[in-house]
Structures are given as C-alpha cells and as structure tokens.
C-alpha cells in the first residue's frame, strides 16, 4: 500500500490560524462557531458565529464571516486605515445584503510563522490581531481581479466588538 503525501501550505496554515483566532474570540464572547461546508465556503462564507446570550428584537443572532489572513499589510498611519487587496469575487459577496449579515475579518500575523503564537505556563499569546469590516451596501466595482479595501484600525475584532455586532443584529440593525 502506497503512502499519500499531503503538503500543508503556508496559506493553509494562515487559514487555520485565522479560524483559531475567531474561535477564541467567539468563545470568550459566549458565542459558538460553525465552520462552513465546502459548498458554503465556495460561496464566500468561511464560518458562522451564533450568540445564545444576546437578546433584542431577535434571539440568537447569527453572523457569517469571510476570513483573510496576511503578514503583508499596508497601514496608513495618518489615516489609521489598513488597506488590503481582496479578490473581486469575495468583494461581491461582501457587498450584497443577505439574511445573515456578513463581515470580513482580516487576521494579521508576523512574517515568521514561529512568531505567530507564544505559549508558556502563564499565557498563550496569538501574535497580532484581526480587524473586521462590513461592506454591505458598498458600490460594485468595475475591477476585474482585485479591489483594495480600507479597514479602520479601530475595528479590532475582539469579544467586545463581537458582542456589539451581535447586539446590533439582535436589534435588527446591520453591523
């Protein structure tokens, strides 16, 4: 019987790290996550976050997430904006209104994978962080392959921002 060689690429590792980051934030915020099936992933949704502890006009708000992970990032300090190119197909998914609101979470990691996580007896540190943005309702683009989006550097994806987003959704608002 032959062996099967499976190569895990750096992009695979970035995807798994970004999923772990969102899972960690969601767990601290009291939310559950579901990783998308291949068919849903192919339509631009990587995971869904659901809250069981936030109530408003609607109970159990739910949020779809598209994930990106990069170490190559451009931050405009004067404007406090993070610029990142994404495929137009992903942008088109993010600008459409849907039953479940959808946001993009861009997880930024160091260049050297050995620096992504630091673990000792006192702490586990995931290096850098994720930023979120809702592009729902944005204008379509005439670009053919990529479009550069701008994310405010204040939009750090953490338990507070996730609870705020879920609260808005529970009250019938968009994030």
pLDDT of residue 94: 94
Global pTM value: 0.91
Give the length of the chain. Answer: 175
SS3 string of 55-90? ECCCECCEEEEEEEEECCCEEECCCCEEEEEEEHHH
CB distance 66 to 104 below 8 Å = yes
Distance, in Å, from the CA atom of 135 to the CA atom of 52, rounded to the nearest integer, reads 25
Element (H, E) at 130: strand 130-133
Q: Which two tokens stand for residue 126?
A: 């995931």
Show the domains of the chain with their CATH numbers: 10-170 (3.40.1350.10)
List the beta bridge partners of residue 76.
81
CB contact at 8 A, 84 and 148: yes
- The backbone torsions φ and ψ at residue 95, rounded to the nearest 5 degrees and listed phi first, read -90, -15
Give the model's pLDDT for residue 1.
Answer: 60
Write out the chain's pLDDT in tens, 175 residues: 667 777 899 999 999 999 999 999 999 999 999 998 865 666 789 999 999 887 788 888 999 999 999 998 766 666 789 999 999 999 999 999 888 899 999 999 999 999 999 999 999 999 999 999 999 999 999 999 999 999 999 999 999 999 999 999 999 998 8
What pLDDT is recorded for position 79? Answer: 73
Interatomic CA distance for residues 63 and 26, integer angstroms = 11
């Amino acid at each position: 019987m032959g062996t099967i060689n499976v190569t895990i690429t750096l992009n695979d590792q970035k995807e798994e790290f970004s999923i772990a980051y969102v899972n960690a934030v969601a767990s601290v915020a009291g939310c559950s996550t579901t990783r998308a099936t291949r068919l849903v992933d192919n339509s631009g949704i990587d995971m869904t976050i659901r809250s069981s502890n936030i109530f408003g006009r609607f109970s159990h708000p739910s949020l779809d997430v598209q994930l990106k992970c990069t170490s190559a990032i451009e931050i405009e300090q004067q404007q406090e904006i993070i610029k990142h190119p994404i495929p137009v197909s992903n942008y088109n998914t993010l600008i459409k209104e849907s039953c479940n609101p959808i946001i993009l979470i861009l997880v930024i990691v160091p260049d050297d994978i050995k620096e992504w996580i630091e673990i000792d007896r006192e702490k586990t540190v995931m290096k850098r962080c994720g930023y979120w943005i809702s592009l729902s309702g944005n204008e379509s683009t005439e670009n053919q392959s990529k479009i550069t989006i701008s994310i405010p550097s204040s939009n750090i994806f953490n338990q507070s921002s996730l609870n705020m987003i879920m609260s808005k959704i529970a009250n019938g608002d968009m994030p």
